[in-house]
Structure 1
Amino acid sequence: MTSEAQPRIYGRTPIVMVDNEANTQTGSTEETPLLGTEAERPEESTENNGDGIGKQSWDSSDDFKGLSRWRTPTVYWLLGPYFLFTLAFGGLVVPRIELIVTLVCRHYFAERHILDPGSPFFPTIGVNNSQCNSAPVQKNVAAFNLVLSALAGGLSALSAPKLGSLSDRYGRKRLLVIASCGGIVNETITILAAKYPDVVDYRFLILGSFFDGITGSFTAVSVLGNSYVSDCTPPSKRGVALGYLQACLFTGLAFGPVLAGKFTVWTGSVLSIFYVALGCHVVVISFLWFVVPESLSKKRRMIAQEKHQADQETIQAMLPGSARGSPESRLPAWIAGDRLRTWLLVLLSANPLAPLKMFVPSGRENRRLRRNFILLGFIDAVLISATLGAGTVLILYAKFMFDWKTLESSLFISIVSFFRVIVLLVLFPTVNYFFRIRPLRRAQAASGDFRIEETHSGADDLDVWLLRLALLCDTIGVVGYVFVRTQELFVLSAVCTAFGGLASATIQSTMTKQVPAEQVGSMLGAMGLLHAVSRVFAPIIFDGIYAGTIETFPQAFVVVLASLFGLAVLASLFIRPYLVLQEGYTPVPERDSRNQDQSTDPNANGLPSEAIPSV
């Protein structure tokens, strides 16, 4: 059955909505005249077998032809600011906890001093205060930290997917700046609360967490950074490029606390590191705004805007008001009114779980891809839960089992992070070169082409096998945590999990290869929603398991983690390569936007009226 193609005009460029089912029928002449000469270029051709298996040319580099090196987007533009951002993020973890303990302790003893003037003096900010180690103070600190984490994590779960979707339509650069502004507000409030504790109550830190979460926090920066890299990196090198960002993350988290500790000792004030972090945020924002080039061309932003507007009109057409005016409509006027339709559209758009629809694309042709998306989403949730939820508990477990102090814990984190960086910066590029780049160059030499043609055909076999091997290394290392009872074997198990660092970069790369370029931000935003939710619930789950079993079976949380990784390995066996999202319609630019009747006439290009549906 062939449906009619109806012309629609969005923004500057009118487009024609063409039914995908009609395109798959025998009339190949149906597409060529409508697309004109644009479709004849080989780099824009698309092949599809009807089961989500497609092959499209990757031609994003053509958008920046003729630009100088300083205006051409690459992953290297982000490495400097991303490393600086993660360095500040990692360096503030310990000082922020110490500062919160002191501020909460000061408030606690201030209230006691009002009731009992002979109570202990107020603690000094930036100094180890023994009176702050009391149980009531620690209880208040734990409750306050929970509020801060839940607020920032919950708000970032709402904002990160929205920012990712907006970046598809308005560019990555300005959204990266917005996501980084929350850190400036948060650090400013923290400095004011620490410097003027009698004027700015410590509970104003909740306001800082609010701004940090509403701008997406670290989750949004990660989503937008990965989207930027996906825009300007060909599929054959995308996993390696995303691995570079992951390496910056682990380097910043490894050396940030060490450098922050040294700087605090050198200055004699814990507050000084917050000034440095504030300066880092300002430098990052300035560099992003004034130096880093935009990765999305105007043409691709317009395509994403047109598609978004088409989606909104489709949703609006399904609302009750769409029945207004039809003879058989019996809806009351207040239901069929435009105002209610507008509010219903706003409510549907504000659904916090709406970004997850990216994991379940509609259509029979996408049934295998739906399975891929769901399995990859589950695996990614396991990885982020292990990092955010089980990581801290693992340090507590090592302290309990081996009587580690701060020095041993810091060395453990540094060793694991170092091996992760080596895997991402050395091993991953080497494997990618010998098993992906080198075969492409051999094919180029055999065909005599002057350049390698990159295709957007989904994840390949190398992506799938790298993911399986990385998850297997993670599983072996986590199982080792359960059985080892010596420090050396414990560290060896952790080094084994470091090779699992390939999994996260491979998943990000695989996801971006399976969706069109104008939906990369939306897909990574949906994954950011999973990350933000894991940031809230994973620590609660693993902390609760460890607290409830530490006296009887302290390895219980590791057993749960190993079981999750085992399920992740099993899920990876069902992931299939070479799948690309197939949409139900294709936007086709018309030749003359000023004469719609002429451009939509089937006979305008000399076609018989039977060649295409009448408009």
Structure 2
Amino acid sequence: MQFLCAPILGRLSDRFGRRRVLVASLAGATIDYLVLALTDTLWVFYLARAVAGITGATNAVTATVIADITPPDQRAKRYGWLGACYGGGMIAGPAIGGLFGGVSPHLPFLVAAALAGITLVLSASLLRETRPPGSNGSHAQQPGTAKRTAVPGMLILLAVFGIVQFIGQAPGSTWVLFTQQRLDWNPVEVGVSLSIFGMVQVFVQAALTGRIVSRIGETRAILVGIAADAIGLIGLALIASTWAMLPILAALGLGSITLPALQTLLSRRAPEQQQGRLQGTLASLNSLTSIIGPVTFTGIFALTRTNADGTLWICAAALYVLCALLMIRETCASRRSR
């Protein structure tokens, strides 16, 4: 549902304002978690999840607000901070869920509803509208507007964003399976490795992304991130000992600069009155890769685990070659058009 509705909500934020859409999304999340906490019926559970997907524009609208209030040369830093917030949530969320889930399977959802409700109240009372003055999205309805507002190279950048998000599903969906088979890790070792990776990623996005982008630019930062992540993935394919995981986690962590830099480049290219539309499209691509990525990479692992269990990492790293070629092509085309 988020894949289908995120672009619509992004366009609604261009037309009616960021604050309204964000408040509606947080209200949907709060209701969703309350229903999940109270229901014992499976179809109600799915219905609540569908409602949360329909109203799930918090990521897209938050990124749009950052684009509205941040000068272009500072966006990479703030998108890095935003990514660090997501990473912090991925570290703290499972711990909170496990802690309260040990008391009752309903309690984590009540805690989530309370947190979403607090965020809803804060957003409704403190957040000011950030949509650029005079922008109401009406341009999207005018004949011939699509041709006037088309941005050269945008489709290539969107393709790179989608591929990078798709590659990111490989560790998320197969980390436990692979490390248990290749390194014979137990659940504690798996959990520690994921926590270390999360902390490295938070540090890189919060402290390094803005500095790297400001020094070498978005395009080079994207290429550096692609190279670092590809090295980390190849390292996973070859890993033979637990200690070798530390430099691999460092490389994968450095690779996390790719998405904030790419998001910054995309936001620079998009007109100010279409920032919501752009971020909605990015959120939709993220959801799409979250649907097809786990099935693809776990399928590859299932087919190759007996004789070549590192194949999935080689396949993921090979996709980065395509990303690099697309980025180089887009950069050359952009320079020729100036």
Please give the TM-score of this superposition, normalised by the length of structure 2: 0.92
**Deviation for aligned residue 1:431:** 3.5
Are residue 167 (structure 1) and residue 1 (structure 2) matched? no
Are residue 424 (structure 1) and residue 261 (structure 2) matched? no
Matched ranges for 1:39-438 at <5 A: 155-193=1-39, 197=40, 201-215=41-55, 217=56, 220-265=57-102, 268-297=103-132, 299-302=133-136, 304-305=137-138, 307-311=139-143, 362=147, 370=152, 372-432=153-213, 435=215
Structure 2 equivalent of residue 519 of structure 1: 274
Structure 2 equivalent of residue 611 of structure 1: none
Q: Point out 4+ residue stretches in structure 1 off by more than 3 angstroms.
A: 262-265, 429-433, 577-580
Q: 1:419 to 1:561 in 2, by over 3 A?
A: same
**Deviation for aligned residue 1:179:** 1.9
Greater share of strand residues, 1 or 2? Answer: 1
Unpaired runs of at least 5, structure 1? 1-154, 316-360, 436-460, 583-615
**CA RMSD in angstroms, aligned pairs only:** 2.4
Say if 2:209 and 2:261, in contact at 8 Å, map to a contact too: no
**Alignment partner for residue 264 of structure 2, among 509, 523, 529?**
509
Structure 2 equivalent of residue 69 of structure 1: none
What is the distance in 1 between the residues matched to 2:64 and 2:333? 20
Give a deviation string over 1:268-290, Cα, whole Å, max 9, x none: 32322221111011111111111
Letter matched to residue 205 of structure 1:
F
**Deviation for aligned residue 1:386:** 2.6
Letter matched to residue 418 of structure 1:
M
Say if 2:167 and 2:319, in contact at 8 Å, map to a contact too: no
Secondary structure of the structure 2 residue equivalent to 1:382 = helix
Give a deviation string over 1:419-441, Cα, whole Å, max 9, x none: 111112222233456x3xxxxxx
Letter matched to residue 383 of structure 1:
V
What is the distance in 1 between the residues matched to 2:327 and 2:334? 15
What is the distance in 1 between the residues matched to 2:2 and 2:224? 31
Say if 1:464 and 1:575, in contact at 8 Å, map to a contact too: no
Give a deviation string over 1:440-468, Cα, whole Å, max 9, x none: xxxxxxxxxxxxxxxxxxxxx61111111
Letter matched to residue 310 of structure 2:
Q
Please give the TM-score of this superposition, normalised by the length of structure 1: 0.52
Unpaired runs of at least 5, structure 2? none
Q: Which of these two proteins has the greater Rg computed from alpha carbons?
A: 1
Secondary structure of the structure 2 residue equivalent to 1:300 = coil
What is the distance in 2 between the residues matched to 1:393 and 1:518? 40
What is the distance in 2 between the residues matched to 1:489 and 1:163? 44
Letter matched to residue 104 of structure 2:
S
Letter matched to residue 177 of structure 1:
V
**Deviation for aligned residue 1:416:** 0.9
Secondary structure of the structure 2 residue equivalent to 1:487 = coil
Say if 1:184 and 1:278, in contact at 8 Å, map to a contact too: yes
What is the distance in 2 between the residues matched to 1:544 and 1:398? 16
Give a deviation string over 1:339-358, Cα, whole Å, max 9, x none: xxxxxxxxxxxxxxxxxxxx
Give a deviation string over 1:164-201, Cα, whole Å, max 9, x none: 011111111111122223322322222122xxx4xxx2
Letter matched to residue 567 of structure 1:
L
What is the distance in 2 between the residues matched to 1:575 and 1:282? 43
**Greater length-normalized contact order (CA 8 Å, ≥ 6 residues apart):** 2
What is the distance in 2 between the residues matched to 1:521 and 1:159? 13
Say if 1:463 and 1:506, in contact at 8 Å, map to a contact too: yes
Matched ranges for 1:513-592 at <5 A: 513-576=268-331
Letter matched to residue 278 of structure 1:
A
What is the distance in 1 between the residues matched to 2:86 and 2:38? 28
Letter matched to residue 232 of structure 1:
I
